[in-house]
Amino acid sequence: METMETTRTETSAENPAIRRLDEWDAKRLRELADEHGTPLYVQDLERVRENYARMADAFPDADVRYAAKANTSRAVLRTLVEAGAGIECASAGEVERALAAGCPADRVQYTAVNPPDEDLDYAVTAAAEYPELTITVGARDTIDRLEERGFDGRLCLRVNPGVGAGHHEKVQTGADAKFGVPIDRAPETLADAADRSFDVVGIHAHAGSGISGEALGSHRELVSRMGGLARDAPVDLEFVDVGGGFGVPYRPEEEPLDLAGVARATREALGEVEATLAVEPGRYLVADAGVLLTRVNTVKLAGEERVVGIDAGMTHLARPAMYDAHHEMRSLAPDADDREPVGVTVAGPICESGDTFGSHDLSAPERGDLLAIGNAGAYGYEMASQYNSRPRPATVVVDGGRSALDRRRETLSDVTRLEREVPWL
Ligand code: LLP
Q: Flag whether pLDDT at 10 surpasses 60.
A: no
State which of 214, 245, 280 marks the end of a domain. 280
Kindly state whether residues 275 and 342 are assigned to the same domain: no
The more confident residue out of 4 and 414 is 414
* Residue range 272-285: mean pLDDT, rounded: 98
Q: Say if ligand 1 is within 6 A of residue 158 CB.
A: no
* Residue range 16-40: mean pLDDT, rounded: 98
What number does the ligand 1 atom closest to the CA of 283 have? 14
Distance CA 164, CA 176 (A): 8
SS3 362: strand
Domain count, the chain: 2
Q: Say if ligand 1 is within 6 A of residue 209 CB.
A: yes
Kindly state whether residues 262 and 311 are assigned to the same domain: no
Using one digit for the tens of pLDDT, what is the confidence trace for 118-146? 999 999 999 999 999 999 999 999 999 99
Q: Flag whether pLDDT at 2 surpasses 70.
A: no
Distance CA 40, CA 381 (A): 10
Q: Flag whether pLDDT at 5 surpasses 70.
A: no
For residue 386, what pLDDT is reported?
A: 98
Neighbours of 140 (CB within 10 A): 13
Q: Candidates 66, 113, 209, 286: which one to mutate for ligand 1, based on the most atoms within 8 Å of Cβ?
A: 209
For residue 214, what pLDDT is reported?
A: 87
The structure's pTM equals 0.96
Kindly state whether residues 287 and 416 are assigned to the same domain: yes
Whether 243 contacts 197, CB under 8 Å: no
SS3 344: strand
* Residue range 413-425: mean pLDDT, rounded: 97
Contacts of 156 (CB under 8 A, 6+ apart): 109, 134, 135, 136, 137, 200, 201, 202, 203, 204, 239, 241
What is the CA(175)–ligand 1 centre distance, in A?
15
Domain assignment of residue 161, yes or no: yes
**In this predicted structure, which of 22-26, 82-86, 173-177, 400-404 has the lowest mean pLDDT?**
173-177
What domain range is 243 assigned to?
112-280
Domain assignment of residue 79, yes or no: no
Whether 237 contacts 275, CB under 8 Å: yes
Smallest Cα–Cα separation from 229: which of 172, 176, 190, 258?
A: 190
Domain assignment of residue 29, yes or no: yes
For residue 408, what pLDDT is reported?
A: 98
Kindly state whether residues 217 and 132 are assigned to the same domain: yes
Domain assignment of residue 67, yes or no: no
Q: Say if ligand 1 is within 6 A of residue 349 CB.
A: no
State which of 263, 280, 297 marks the end of a domain. 280
Domain assignment of residue 224, yes or no: yes
Distance CA 338, CA 181 (A): 58
CATH of the domain at 288: 2.40.37.10
Kindly state whether residues 259 and 348 are assigned to the same domain: no
Question: Could you tell me the pLDDT band of residue 6, with boundaries at 50, 70 and 90?
Answer: very low
Kindly state whether residues 202 and 296 are assigned to the same domain: no
Smallest Cα–Cα separation from 6: which of 342, 126, 14?
A: 14
Kindly state whether residues 34 and 127 are assigned to the same domain: no
Distance CA 170, CA 364 (A): 35
Using one digit for the tens of pLDDT, what is the confidence trace for 310-356? 999 999 999 999 999 999 999 999 999 999 999 999 999 999 999 99
State which of 215, 249, 280 marks the end of a domain. 280
Q: Say if ligand 1 is within 6 A of residue 243 CB.
A: yes
Kindly state whether residues 417 and 401 are assigned to the same domain: yes
For residue 230, what pLDDT is reported?
A: 98
Q: Say if ligand 1 is within 6 A of residue 94 CB.
A: no
**Omega of the bond prior to 281 within 30 degrees of 0, cis?**
no
Whether 225 contacts 162, CB under 8 Å: yes
Does the annotation mark 351 as catalytic? yes
Domain assignment of residue 356, yes or no: yes
Kindly state whether residues 119 and 266 are assigned to the same domain: yes
For residue 14, what pLDDT is reported?
A: 85
Kindly state whether residues 360 and 250 are assigned to the same domain: no
Alpha helices by DSSP H, listed for 242-315, are 259-270, 283-286
Domain assignment of residue 324, yes or no: yes
Q: Flag whether pLDDT at 7 surpasses 70.
A: no
What is the CA(267)–ligand 1 centre distance, in A?
21
For residue 1, what pLDDT is reported?
A: 32
Kindly state whether residues 202 and 291 are assigned to the same domain: no
Q: Candidates 69, 72, 76, 317: which one to mutate for ligand 1, based on the most atoms within 8 Å of Cβ?
A: 69
Kindly state whether residues 379 and 310 are assigned to the same domain: yes
CATH of the domain at 214: 3.20.20.10
**Mean of per-residue pLDDT scores for the chain:** 96
- Cα-to-chain-centroid distance, residue 388: 25
* Residue range 388-416: mean pLDDT, rounded: 98
Using one digit for the tens of pLDDT, what is the confidence trace for 154-203? 999 999 999 999 999 999 998 999 999 999 999 999 999 999 989 999 99
For residue 12, what pLDDT is reported?
A: 79
Q: Flag whether pLDDT at 42 surpasses 80.
A: yes
Which residue among 89, 103, 156, 351 is the active-site one? 351
* Residue range 216-238: mean pLDDT, rounded: 96
Domain assignment of residue 39, yes or no: yes
* Residue range 41-48: mean pLDDT, rounded: 98
